[in-house]
Amino acid sequence: MLEQSLYCVCIFSQAQDDVIVDVYERLPVPFGLVRFGVAPDHPEVKNVINTFTQTAQHERCFFHGNVNVGVDVTVKELKKAYHAVVLSYGAEANRCMGVPGEDLAGVFSARDFVGWYNGLPSNQKLNPDLNCETVVILGQGNVALDVARILLSPLDMLKKTDITQHALEALTASRVRRVLIVGRRGPLQIAGTIKEVREMINLPDTTADMLPADFKGISETLKGRNVAVQNQDAKAVPTGQMEDLECGMVISSIGYKSLPIDPCVPFEHRGAIIPNDMGRVLDTAGLYCSGWVKRGPTGVIATTMNDSFDTARVLLKDMKEGTLDLSVNKPGAQEITALLQERGNTHRNTQKKKNADCTLFSRKKNTLLTNSQKFKTF
């Protein structure tokens, strides 16, 4: 999730005039979740890319694409080459439901489905079968609402977005007419925000059909909200009632989780985060983390931004107070580039100067483009 890194870069460039920042990314292009995770009909959210581009064009910031940290280069090697390393790689794995049948054909994760219609290279060949009338989405967060909206949006609306051509063609031939959004909890507890709920309810040519039983007693609960807040130990109790839902596809949207990146980096498997103190990785001097891998995959882009700002400020504080050892010069990208070349990774698109060649990925055409100027076509 490169955007978390660029939030940190923004603080570094403003606070220090002698800091050089190299950003390493597994994908060939920057902007991570903003590029491949935000719904194509939300251009106002993607506008943050303009700010990112300005940050990335800073004369002391360099982007290195196609570098898989933990595989192509270890965190230990990065620590040796730099005074400080900030891990901002997000949450790339899906949380499993742990129920029989979740690995059947026709069952997809929302992460993969979103990556498919947004042009994430690893999901280009997903090829979901939309030759069915009913789709069930498990989960009630913003991602679940995004997927439902894309499946049911009129084609005229989708054509005005930056959705990939292959996804638009598939949705043009889609027979999906009904999407069921299923969750464990009630309407007051859903993880989706009011903006996404309104978009779903007001979607043209679509009717929102809500179960009356889900709203039974809500007005009385709100009237007695003081009592409800005090009764924090209350739990939902299964009714024992079962319902069979016939559908042609199931999309699981129950959350993401981070994965360990390197054996030398501590990792809390239960919470799926890197154990840290305000962004400082525990018991590992010079190593920091930000974003979802720091606090878990929750919140919106603004939440991640503020979290990354906090990590950057902590790092700068350690620099000024001497907690971070800056007494020895470090080679930085020069050493890492040499390591990559030694390992036969000659195709790495490492930029060491402003006019270095950069290979970019075009989501519309699914082709590789070569650009001789830094970050000009993003």
Residues belonging to the binding site are: 25, 33, 69, 140-143, 184-185, 196, 292, 299-301
Q: Are 364 and 165 in contact (CB under 8 A)?
A: yes
Q: Are 249 and 108 in contact (CB under 8 A)?
A: yes
Express the helix, strand and coil content of the chain in percent, nearest 5 each.
35, 15, 50
Q: Are 128 and 108 in contact (CB under 8 A)?
A: yes
Q: Are 204 and 160 in contact (CB under 8 A)?
A: no
Q: How far does the chain reach from its first CA to its final CA, in angstroms?
A: 16
Lookup result for tokens 């679509």: 206
Q: Are 292 and 258 in contact (CB under 8 A)?
A: yes
Q: In a 10 Å sphere around its CB, with 0-12 CB exposed, 13-18 middle and 19+ buried, how is residue 356 labelled?
A: middle
The span from the CA of 369 to the CA of 193, in Å, is 37
- When computed from its CA atoms, the radius of gyration of the chain, rounded to whole angstroms, is 23
Binding site for FAD: what residues are annotated?
25, 33, 69, 292, 299-301
Secondary structure (DSSP) of 248-311? SEEEE-S-EE-----TTS--BTTTTB--EETTEETT-TTEEE-THHHH-S-S-HHHHHHHHHHH
Distances (CA, A) of 250 to 105, 144, 168, 191, 264: 9, 11, 20, 19, 38
Helix (DSSP H) and strand (DSSP E) numbers for the chain: 15, 15
Query: Nearest to residue 61, comparing CAs of 111, 128, 8?
Result: 8
Distances (CA, A) of 303 to 223, 292, 297, 299: 31, 10, 10, 5
* 310 phi, psi to nearest 5 deg: -60, -45
Binding site for NADP(+): what residues are annotated?
140-143, 184-185, 196, 299
